[in-house]
């Protein structure tokens, strides 16, 4: 399976699609480019890390943005694009590739890329090659994923070094923030009530207590195997429980994961990596350093222009 081309590699195919001089919308060019480049339905369904937009759609959209910045295509009306006379002239030159370096020959493109600075400095010049090939959303989301990964590693390391009592409070706080246990006080009373190895207890699944979840949490550095999970499931059967969560600061063996995939009661395994990720998602043990808003043009605002 070939990787989806980066957005700069899509610029020339995009312009060639528009070479008929007709007005087109983005759905047309996406379909045409996917067919031409052999992009499968599965590849077209691949999402950015945020899950908010398909990677292929994002790259096609940014190919159009850059071509429009250089004046090779224009929008005759809302939601439509059309090749310009400059775009036709570029195709007549039969370029082997169109990318940002190629488009820098057009003064307005170079000026917009530099933010209007007199020296026409390329704001992407200092980026690594892989980042330079990424769309702005991809670069931003890749950086965010890297920051989150490093934060998760740091969090898990600190949790492993903490005391068992601290780990117990952390589990209680996390479950409450996730919506379980009613209140912190109620959850705190439930956790540790059984007192077997590690932190064990029963906690409400919802605030009304319509169902309960049996919890076992072990502060381990190693791998939790199938025997440990089987003992946990046995405890669930003994309490006639239908749901259980097993948390560990370590990891689970492949046998343990396979075992819980086809048993009743339902058992969810949360390893150290997922525990750290949940802490980040529910703002436990983390603090906000900075927040960035990503905006787009409101085309409705300019309809009456």
Compute the distance between CA of residue 188 and CA of residue 132 in angstroms, rounded to an integer.
50
Highest mean pLDDT, choosing among 60-69, 196-205, 237-246: 60-69
Q: What CATH number does the domain containing 178 carry? A: 3.40.1340.10
The pLDDT tens digits for 288-298 are 887 878 787 77
1 is a domain residue = no
Q: Is residue 290 part of a domain?
A: no
Residues 273 and 234 in one domain: yes
In this predicted structure, the answer to whether residue 285 has a pLDDT above a threshold of 90 is yes
Residues 166 and 271 in one domain: yes
Q: How would you classify the pairing of strands 223-224 and 73-74?
A: unpaired
Q: What is the arithmetic mean of pLDDT over 18-34?
A: 96
- Give the pLDDT of residue 159: 93
Residue 149 resides in a domain: no
Note if the pTM is more than 0.95.
no
Do 177 and 92 sit in the same domain of this protein? no
pLDDT band for 117, please (50, 70, 90 cuts): very low
Q: Which of 51-60, 112-121, 132-141 has the lowest mean pLDDT?
A: 112-121
Q: Please say if the pLDDT value at position 268 is more than 90.
A: yes
Same domain, 166 and 118: no
**In terms of domains, do 174 and 79 share one?**
no
92, 23: one domain: yes
- Whether residue 172 is found in the same domain as residue 253: yes
Q: Which of 140-154, 188-202, 209-223, 267-281 reaches the highest mean pLDDT?
A: 267-281
Asked if residue 240 has pLDDT above 50, the reply is yes
* Confidence check: pLDDT of 12 > 90: yes
Q: Is residue 259 part of a domain?
A: yes
**How does pLDDT run across 182-226, given as a tens digit for each residue?**
666 666 555 655 555 445 677 877 777 778 888 888 888 899 999
User: How far apart, in whole angstroms, are the C-alpha atoms of residue 127 and residue 123?
Assistant: 8
For the cut 90, the answer to whether the pLDDT of residue 113 exceeds it is no
Which structural domain range is residue 39 located in? 11-134
Residue 52 lies in a domain: yes
**Cβ count within 10 A of residue 167:** 20
108 CB-contact burial (10 Å; exposed 0-12 / middle 13-18 / buried 19+): exposed
Of 118, 134, 150, the residue at which a domain comes to its end is 134
Asked whether residue 119 falls in the same domain as residue 222, the answer is no
Q: Which residue, 11, 25, 28, 32, is CA-closest to 76?
A: 25
The answer, yes or no, to whether residue 98 has pLDDT greater than 90, is yes
Helix (H) or strand (E) holding 269: strand 266-270
Q: 171: closest CA among 245, 110, 76, 102? A: 245
Give, in order, the Cα–Cα distances in Å from 143 to each of 86, 163, 165, 181.
36, 32, 35, 35
Residues 212, 100, single domain; the answer is no
77 in the same domain as 40: yes
Bridge partners (DSSP) listed for residue 199: 217
State the CATH number of the domain containing residue 44. Answer: 1.10.10
50 & 130 share domain: yes
Please tell me the predicted confidence (pLDDT) of residue 121: 31
Q: In angstroms, rounded to a whole number, what is the distance separating the alpha carbons of residues 11 and 61?
A: 10
Could you tell me if 124 and 201 lie in one domain?
no
Residue 260 CA: distances (Å) to CA of 12, 139, 204, 208, 265: 50, 37, 21, 27, 9
Let me know if residue 3 belongs to a domain: no
User: What is the number of structural domains in the chain?
Assistant: 2
CA torsion, points 84, 90, 92, 96, in degrees to nearest 10?
Answer: -140
Within-domain flag for 146:
no
Nearest to 86, CA basis, from 102, 227, 203, 161 = 102
CB–CB of 248/270 below 8 Å?
yes
CA distances from 219 to 163, 165, 170, 227, 249 (A): 9, 11, 11, 17, 5
Answer yes or no: is 288 within a domain.
no
């Amino acid at each position: 399976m070939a990787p989806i081309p980066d957005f700069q590699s899509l610029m020339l195919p995009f312009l060639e699609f528009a070479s008929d001089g007709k007005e087109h919308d983005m759905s047309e060019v996406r379909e045409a480019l996917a067919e031409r480049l052999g992009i499968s339905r599965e590849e077209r369904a691949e999402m950015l890390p945020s899950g908010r937009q398909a990677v292929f759609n994002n790259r096609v959209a940014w190919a159009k943005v850059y071509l429009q910045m250089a004046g090779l295509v224009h929008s005759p009306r809302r939601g439509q694009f059309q090749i310009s006379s400059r775009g036709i002239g570029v195709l007549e030159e039969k370029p082997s590739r169109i990318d940002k370096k190629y488009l820098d020959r057009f003064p307005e493109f170079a000026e917009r890329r530099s933010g209007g600075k007199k020296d026409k400095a390329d704001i992407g010049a200092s980026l690594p090659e892989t980042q330079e090939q990424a769309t702005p959303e991809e670069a931003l989301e890749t950086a965010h994923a890297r920051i989150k990964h490093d934060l998760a590693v740091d969090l898990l390391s600190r949790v492993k070094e903490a005391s068992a009592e601290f780990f117990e409070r952390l589990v209680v706080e996390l479950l409450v923030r996730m919506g379980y246990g009613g209140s912190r006080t109620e959850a705190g009373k439930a956790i540790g009530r059984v007192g077997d190895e590690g932190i064990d207890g029963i906690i409400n699944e919802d605030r009304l207590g319509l169902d309960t979840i049996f919890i076992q949490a072990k502060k381990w550095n190693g791998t939790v195997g199938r025997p440990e999970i089987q003992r946990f499931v046995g405890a669930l059967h003994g309490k006639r429980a239908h749901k259980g969560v097993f948390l560990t600061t370590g990891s689970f063996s492949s046998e343990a994961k396979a075992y819980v995939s086809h048993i009743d009661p339902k058992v969810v395994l949360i390893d150290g990596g997922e525990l750290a990720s949940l802490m980040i998602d529910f703002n436990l043990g983390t603090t906000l350093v900075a927040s960035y808003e990503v905006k787009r043009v409101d085309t409705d605002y300019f309809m009456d222009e």
